[in-house]
């Protein structure tokens, strides 16, 4: 888990892994700016999947639900939908994802888990008016969804990074606020408080003295959650870097020799290039259809 306030460098840190790993990037936040800054050779190592999730079209939770349930599938470029019937009929473009073929050099990135949480809530209440306040039954459904994803994250059979925005959480004693903690924004407050336990590492990021800083040691701070199930201490690195972490994870030694993807200046027009290039056009089309805010 990677979490922090907006602009603290979470996506940049994850995207830098494309130097050494193959990334399957599930983008729910309608934002590919970080990836656009990468050199072509790194972009070639990213299977960029845009899932344009909005309150009125909460496709993110449905696509990820199917993808994690089946561990593989095709997601259409036009809507970010799993096995989209319309796009199948129109013979439109799809990206393939297959978690069952993941090796030590593969990493799935969910950008962001917070948008996934909002998508679940939007899906649960989608037939209601805009000013509708979730009721007891909705929270039950929300809980079922978030618990499904929590268990999927914990049991994922490869490398997984889920990026979350941070929100403030008041720690109460009676009706008095005794302290404020930063926690990952995910689903309901109850789920947000417990989601971290499904991850082996919880890394908090912030901007300090105009520099991106990251912390993983369990003893870093009382004000925010961090943990590391290995000895990995990202705060000890001169610049935050996640690549030394992955060789420390148990699965990397259990499996055969990792295949390191070659970073060469390959020609453009890979799925990631196409997806990033097509994103603004795609967003424009979605706006025209009234599917985005």
The Cα-based distances of 279 to 33, 77, 93 in angstroms read 10, 9, 13
Residue 15 or 28: the one with the smaller Cβ distance to Zn ion is 28
The nearest distance, CB 27 to Zn ion, in angstroms, is: 16
The Cα-based distances of 264 to 44, 167, 190, 261 in angstroms read 9, 40, 46, 9
Residue 38 or 81: the one with the smaller Cβ distance to Zn ion is 81
Q: What's the Rg (C-alpha) of the chain?
A: 19
Please tell me the chain's helix, strand, coil percentages from 3-state DSSP, rounded to the nearest 5. Answer: 35, 25, 40
* Cα 237 from Cα 241, distance rounded (Å): 7
The nearest distance, CB 291 to Zn ion, in angstroms, is: 11
Residue 63 or 146: the one with the smaller Cβ distance to Zn ion is 63
- The answer to whether the CB of 156 falls within 8 A of the CB of 1 is no
The nearest distance, CB 116 to Zn ion, in angstroms, is: 19
Residue 31 or 93: the one with the smaller Cβ distance to Zn ion is 93
Residue 59 or 191: the one with the smaller Cβ distance to Zn ion is 59
* Cα 223 from Cα 181, distance rounded (Å): 5
The nearest distance, CB 101 to Zn ion, in angstroms, is: 23
Q: Which long-range contacts (CB under 8 A, 24 or more apart) does 94-98 make?
A: 95/47, 95/48, 95/49, 95/271, 95/275, 96/72, 97/24, 97/47, 97/49, 97/67, 97/72, 97/73, 98/71, 98/72
The nearest distance, CB 79 to Zn ion, in angstroms, is: 4
The nearest distance, CB 191 to Zn ion, in angstroms, is: 29
In 10 A of CB 156, how many CB atoms?
Answer: 17
Task: From 26, 83, 108, select the one nearest 275 (Cα to Cα).
Answer: 26
The nearest distance, CB 73 to Zn ion, in angstroms, is: 13
Residue 76 or 183: the one with the smaller Cβ distance to Zn ion is 76
Interacting residues with Zn ion (CB under 5 A): 76, 78-79, 81, 84, 87
């Amino acid at each position: 888990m990677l979490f922090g306030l907006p602009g603290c460098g979470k996506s940049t840190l994850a995207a830098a892994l494309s130097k050494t790993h193959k990334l399957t990037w599930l983008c729910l936040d309608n934002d590919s700016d970080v990836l656009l800054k990468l050199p072509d050779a790194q972009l070639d190592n990213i299977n960029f999947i845009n899932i344009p999730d909005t309150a009125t079209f909460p496709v993110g939770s449905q696509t990820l639900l199917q993808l994690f349930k089946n561990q593989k599938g095709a997601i259409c470029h036009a809507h970010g939908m799993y096995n989209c019937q319309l796009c199948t009929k129109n013979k439109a473009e799809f990206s393939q994802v297959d978690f069952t073929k993941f090796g030590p050099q593969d990493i799935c990135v969910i950008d962001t888990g917070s948008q996934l949480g909002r998508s679940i809530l939007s899906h649960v209440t989608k037939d209601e008016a805009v000013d509708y306040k979730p009721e007891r039954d909705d929270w039950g459904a929300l809980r079922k969804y978030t618990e499904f994803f929590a268990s999927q994250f914990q049991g994922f059979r490869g490398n997984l990074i889920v990026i979350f925005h941070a929100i403030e959480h008041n720690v109460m004693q009676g009706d008095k606020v005794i302290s404020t903690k930063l926690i990952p924004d995910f689903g309901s407050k109850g789920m947000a408080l417990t989601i971290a336990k499904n991850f082996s590492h919880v890394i908090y990021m912030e901007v300090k003295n105009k520099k991106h800083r990251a912390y993983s040691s369990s003893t870093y701070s009382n004000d925010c959650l961090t943990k590391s199930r290995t000895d990995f201490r990202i705060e000890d690195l001169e610049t935050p870097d996640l690549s030394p972490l992955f060789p420390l994870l148990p699965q990397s030694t259990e499996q055969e020799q990792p295949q390191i993807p070659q970073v060469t200046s390959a020609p453009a027009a890979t799925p990631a290039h196409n997806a990033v290039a097509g994103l603004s056009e795609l967003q424009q089309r979605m706006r025209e259809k009234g599917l985005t805010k």
